[in-house]
Structure 1
Amino acid sequence: MYLDRRNFLKIAGVSSALQMMPGLSFGQKDEIIIGHNTHKYKVMVGWGVLDAQKTPVNDCHEMVEDAKGRLIMCTNETKNNILIYDKSGKLLETWGNSYPGAHGLTIFNEGEKQYLLLCDNSRNQVIKTDLKGNEIFKIEYPKETGEYQYPSQFVPTESAVNPLNGDIYVVDGYGKNFVMQYDAKGKYIRHWGGNGTESGQFKCNHGVIVDMRKPENPTLIITSRQQNCWKRFTLDGKYLSTIELPGSFICRPVIKNQNLFGAVFRSTSEDYPNSGYIQILDANDKVVSSPGASEPIYINGKLQEQRKSDPAKVFMHPHDVCIDSDDSIYIPQWASKKTYPVKLERV
């Protein structure tokens, strides 16, 4: 899966290799370094790899860090839907065997405790659990909206929780592309969006987050993956703006400090397999680094189309990013030969 410097130079030649690797370099002991500008990362080869006979994964969809620094990942492998790692890659715990469509994973605080929201797109539900997997409640298909006649029309991909009041936002990325807003108990408040090309509509609203970087004016950032963008809304669903990411089929937005992160599960077109990478944006929604991709270039304020540039074959189809308290990034991958997450350590 990985190329070291010696083999890469042997294959490509020194001059060709340098031209082919604008976002890739080698550190001491042939370490693989990817990324651009202020955000470069060392690939931690072999991190988190487990015995697939005992602890298998299928699609590794999403990962979050809890208050104890543990890394919680969901997979749609029902032998162990939830894998919990420490930062060294040691497996601490597993649970869950009833989530065949485990896809979205959100962690949030409620008083002194933390809880999870698990979006299962086979069960057509959003399930609230504690960190041990005990189910608290379920959000069923949103018949209150008048948009859904039966459960299979509702295929939730992600959720987010407003830390100010506990409101829950659910996006139906593989269904009708509506955004549903609920209160902290799962009671329906409103919905908006839907499948379409208007500014307030979506083409695969795959992810959502409450952006608290400006606490006086919190907003929602919601994915429109087929349109290669994230869209910003008020907390009650009014469209504000679009963050264009040309060439990037972006998944859910993730915020760490002042940066916005996202996994690109493929680039440019559906006919370009194993073509994913990572996007990192600054506080002004400008891409500053694209580990595994071509360098982000702006012309007249417009980001130019990007695509995979990953000669070391670090990524196949990244599906999420988890940024820990040490600024390391963990990347679960979809449809990537049942591989375990990739860890990138900030350099």
Structure 2
Amino acid sequence: MKSTALLLLLPSLALAHPDHGTKPGAEVETAVLTGNGAWQYEAVPHWGELPDGKNLGPTHGGVVIDEKTGLIYVSTDAPHGILVYKPDGKLKETIAPECQGFHAMAVREEKGKTVLYGAQLGGPKPLRVCKIDTNGKVLLEISQATAGEVQGGWKGLTAVTVGPKGEIFCSMGYGEQFIHKFDAEGKHIKSFGGKGNGDGQTSCSHGMALDTRFGEPRLLVCDRENRRLVHFDLEGNWIGVHATDLRRPCTISILGDACAVAELEARVTILDKNGKPAAFLGDNPDKSQWANFGVPLDQMKTGIFTAPHGLSFDKEGNLYVQDWNASGRVTKLKKR
């Protein structure tokens, strides 16, 4: 299966490299192709660049899409907080400086309005889950101060997602690997998981999403250092391993039966409903750039990733990918 997939990808990955006679990074003016089969994309040059050549600020966060407006929300570790883009890549505004350091985000419609959830790892008020409106106003905070102590402690918050009844899940992927469930008002219900590589355990429960592809909703969790995706039900019971042999999966986004995986080791993978690879996007042949926070922007090639950390499908199947990078980088992959 793997060797066949690689053979199929070789022509597409060749297209993913700009002509070697061009200068890297911002000098590329034409779209760069990547992917294969039903999952072919164009990497859009200059998408998301800020006016006057300003950096985005360190990107160690997430990307979510408001389907009602088409706006793209990109979290950063910079004092401006969250960048809000129009689909054409023009910056609309920045919001929520108080939410600087959202390591991951989720988006949901509640009572006819779009709200964002963030797992705040750094910034001025670290280690809390926040619900905010699209203007950046904090509507709910969950932290040790509001919810009390949790199993394993409030250490290393990395992920957040929301269940169908408004129940809130977060994980301590840089801590003791427990996943915590709260009700919609922020009251702690239970904790589950823990550190390891066996059933019901993770080693860096880095990202998660609500997975509705299998009937009863469940949690799909990025078990980063075990290089796999795993499923739990919404009561915290172990279901099983969904996908293996990934390159340190950080974040997932689901569209229909497909799942896009941001892999820290310089690739985005599209998985089918069975957890098998359907396409590889932006695979980087330079291993010195894999999971490298310090790659200068002028050494990054359009359509080639260094450290995918956050990503999201929009409803048309386009992908928006954030690299973990000191200067900040976000890429739009336009579905063909």
Structure 1 letter corresponding to 2:312: C
1:159 Cα deviation after fit: 0.7
Comparing 322-331 with 200-209, which one deviates more in the overlay? 322-331
Aligned to 1:278: 268
1:24–1:32 Cα contact (<8 Å) kept = no
SS, match of residue 225 in structure 2? helix
Query: 1:233 maps to what in 2?
Result: 232
Amino acid at match of 1:284: N
Do residues 180 (structure 1) and 185 (structure 2) align? no
Structure 1 residues 228 and 199, CA gap change in structure 2 (3 angstroms): same
- In the TM superposition, residue 110 of structure 1 has moved relative to its aligned partner by 1.2
**Aligned-partner residue type, residue 265 of structure 1:** L
Quote the residue 2:199 is aligned against.
199
Alignment partners' CA distance in 2, 1:146 and 1:319: 26
Q: Is the 8 A contact 1:58 1:338 kept in 2?
A: yes
Quick check: 2:55–2:327 contact (8 Å CA) kept in 1?
A: no
Q: How many residues align?
A: 299
Q: Identify which of 296, 306, 320 aligns with 1:330.
A: 320
**Cα pair distance change 1:59/1:31, threshold 3 Å:** closer
Which has the higher mean CA deviation after the structures are superposed, 243-252 or 231-240? 243-252
Give 1:345's aligned residue.
334
SS in 2 for 1:207: strand
Q: Following the alignment from structure 1 to structure 2, what is the Cα–Cα distance between the partners of residues 242 and 23? A: 28
- Distance in 2 between residues matched to 1:188 and 1:320, nearest whole Å: 27
Q: 1:156 to 1:21 in 2, by over 3 A?
A: same
**Aligned residue number for residue 160 of structure 2:** 159
Residue in 2 that maps onto 1:83 = 83
The structure-2 alpha-carbon separation of the partners of 1:146 and 1:84, relative to structure 1 and needing over 3 Å to count, comes to: closer
Aligned-pair Cα RMSD in Å: 2.6
Give the letter for the 2:218 counterpart: T
Larger Rg: 1
> Are residues 1:315 and 2:305 paired?
yes
- The alpha-carbon deviation at position 210 of structure 1 amounts to 1.3
The TM-score with structure 1 as length reference comes to: 0.79
- Residue of structure 2 in register with 1:147 after alignment: 152
* Aligned mates of 1:48, 1:311 — CA distance in 2: 15
C-alpha separation in 2, matches of 1:69 and 1:311: 26
Distance 2:264 2:55 in 1: 24
Tell me which of 124, 127, 150 is aligned to 1:124. Answer: 127
Q: Post-superposition, which runs of at least 4 consecutive aligned residues in structure 1 deviate over 4 A?
A: 19-22, 52-55, 310-313
- 1:240, distance to aligned residue in structure 2 (A): 1.1
Q: CA deviation at 1:185?
A: 0.7
Is residue 107 from structure 1 mapped to residue 107 from structure 2 by the alignment?
A: yes
Query: What residue number does 1:255 align with?
Result: 254
Alpha-carbon distance in structure 1 between the residues aligned to 2:233 and 2:60 = 31
Q: Which runs of 5+ in 1 are unaligned?
A: 1-18, 267-275, 295-306
- Aligned counterpart, 1:57: 57
Report deviation, 1:340: 2.9
Work out whether 1:288 is the aligned partner of 2:287: no
What residue is the counterpart of 1:135 in the other structure?
Answer: 138
More deviation in 138-147 or 325-334?
Answer: 138-147
Q: Which amino acid aligns with 1:136?
A: L
Percent identity reads: 26
Instruction: Return the letter of the residue paired with 2:256.
Output: N
Residue pair 1:60, 1:73 contacting (<8 A) in 2 also:
no
